[in-house]
Structure 1
Amino acid sequence: MAVTDYDVKDTALADLGQDRINWAAQEMPVLRQIKERFAREKPLQGVRIAACLHVTSETANLMRALKAGGAEVALCASNPLSTQDDVAASLVIHDGIPVYAIKGEDKDTYYAHLEATLASGPHFTMDDGCDLVTLLHQQRHDLLPGIFGGTEETTTGVIRLRAMAEDGVLAYPVIAVNDALTKHMFDNRYGTGQSTIDAILRATNVLLAGKTVVVAGYGWCGRGVASRARGMGAHVVVTEINPLKALEAVMDGFAVMPMREAARVGDIFITVTGNINVLDAQHYALMKDGAILCNAGHFNVEINIPALESAAREKRMGRPFIEQYTVEGGRSINLLAEGRLVNLAAAEGHPSAVMDMSFANQALSVEYMLQHKGQMKAGVYPVPEAIDQEIARLKLEAMGMQIDTLTPEQERYLNSWREGT
């Protein structure tokens, strides 16, 4: 069915986007199996889904799976710089899915696109960063009675949702897809780790070997970034506020120190904390000439860009995706991708093989919430363990891997308390 309401850069890019989507699909066997089942069973028939996600080839395969299941889907970008314009065009032209996303869109356009996605009157939200849910709760109370569930893709969004639930304002149940083991242990660690390093190399073409890379935050994303940077020959420094995570970083062989100390020695700084002003004016004053700053957290607030602008005597484009600020003493500080998600703004985001599991969680969580419609109160819920285990099983099967199963004797032993030393 032809789509008449959409906003993409250029529909002439649709064939290129289709090739990109199909290429990604080859590395997404779990989602492919779900799509095939959805096409047979139509478990989402008649359900309207408003999705605010990074508009990439991997996301496109999720949209196709949801549509195969009978859903009516509208999609907008969850970040102004993460859209792949050819993919957006392909979803409109070849898949009949309304898309509102243009790479580089300004803030007003970004929020207009969120509004357009909500115009369908969704039954279900699918968010990455919680902007769509926040807009609903702040400005579109009229739509809330018709919404019976949602999912959230990323750590930052889950943090915001839990704050909403704590304040008693979250109006419907949301499954925290980010917290599924088959999401954060793989997507956050291996996906963010590889794609962040990929983006830095694409944007700068610097040699990482011998450089000092400062990773702010040692959650699953930070672990991945730190390990990949070390694998490229970098000296890695971790900064943390959590003593347990800091201790883990030490035990993993990384130097750990406060940012005020790391600022003096770092060549490349990567923020992955989900918090505000992790890199600030006090740190810029200490940095080396030529320091490179980038962010792999969801929002561009982790680097205090206004403070960097204030400190600068001059600003110029060093090369695509690099803004070079000249500060006190003639030093240059280089900001990548406007401080936005560097792996999506300056590269292609996570490899499709890890997004396969993340988006399988999205698809199956939607199905689960539909099956339990009316049974879940407003709040933030984990992905059911059975879904997590099934996705892992399907992934192993697709990789040609087999594992052991418990014998009846072993099951009896594990369920008994009588046998001991």
Structure 2
Amino acid sequence: MSAPQVSTAGLMPDVPSTTVVRSFKVPIALGAFTALFALLMLLAPREGAATLRLSGDSDAIQLPPLLLPVTATGWVCVAFMLALTAAALYFVRAQGRSPLWIVSVYILFAIVGFLAWAAAGATIPVVGLLAGAVALAVPLIYGALGGVIGERAGVVNIAIEGQLLAGAFTAAVLSSVTRQPLIGLVGAMIAGALVAAVLATFAITYFVDQVIVGVVLNVLVIGLTSFLFSQVLQPDATTLNSPVRFDRIQIPLLSDIPVLGPVLFRQTILVYVMYLAVALVYVGMFHTRWGLRLRAVGEHPKAADTVGIRVNATRFWNVLLAGAIAGLGGTIFTIGNGIPFNKEMTAGAGFIALAAVIFGQWDPIKATLAALLFGFASSLQNTLSIIGSPVPSEFMLMLPYVVTIFVVAGVVGKSRAPAADGKPYIKG
């Protein structure tokens, strides 16, 4: 039977075409956030202007700094945020859902307004802020890609945190012993795949609850790596925990593009591989036979089985692939930055990646954008702390997680996971 016939087998729920399910979560969340920002401008007004430095000292093309008057910029952003909230409400009433571009533009105005308020009288290095955002987002993107593949296949991958941590540990040890970061990279992928193999065995072969298995694996990997760190790595840190980092590679011409060039094209091979991985996963998932089978076993495994697809085998191998990609993301914490391994150094990145999967509606591109947003929130926290922003330090530490809760609980709108996500398939 031809591939197009497989793609239509049970991939859409039996809902009449005239049915429109409206979710007002997006306009409500945008309206609430706009009101909070307006209250901030009213109750804690600031004077002066924020300076955005758009070029670094080594950039070939120097751009003049951008001055943002605090009061004017803040209220202009509030006006645009109100207009976008109204637009989101209109689209929900007319079409049942708000377009993604409205949320994206809204977030942009919210960021500009908050930056102007928080950095009044100070200078923000935009290139450094964005570069930090990309650096912090890279492991989240790898983890999110692994999460998208696993859940599209019908397996909830709660164990992303464990896969990232296992990859970080293995990469640190192997690159320290061999002095070859590429060997550490390969070892990290194998470590992530091994954690995924345990998840797949229990969840797919023995039908154990996938969420429980994932949580147990996270605890297991945290405990195991913490024990090995204390008992093995610390006594001989010079030999076993001094990872060799990848060198940065500048792409000619592209690296000289103002603002974006230094951010995107003066990176290590791990970042360039991430660009390739996002493109390959997207094209493969929606434009190849592999992706068709992957989505089929996650949407309607019984229909997929009927046309000859080995459901559990397809799920098993794709979960291993997802684990290998997440393990590769773990290398960012060690050989990506030349930092020695430490206990629980992933610090919940796997759960943020899982949130990016949901925010991105199980789409590789959207999940990548969500991970970049979370990375930006973390980088903004660091930048504002350095320039001495009046924002309380406790709130700054909360900022990335507040953004996570905000986008997942409010902005994501109506979202449907793959129909068979988390459901074991028993043949017959």
The question of a shared fold, defined as TM-score above 0.5 by the shorter chain, is answered with no
Q: Which has the higher helix share?
A: 2
Question: When you count strand as a share of all residues, which structure comes out higher?
Answer: 1
* Higher RCO, Cα 8 Å, sep 6+: 2
**What TM-score do you get using the length of structure 1 for normalisation?**
0.30
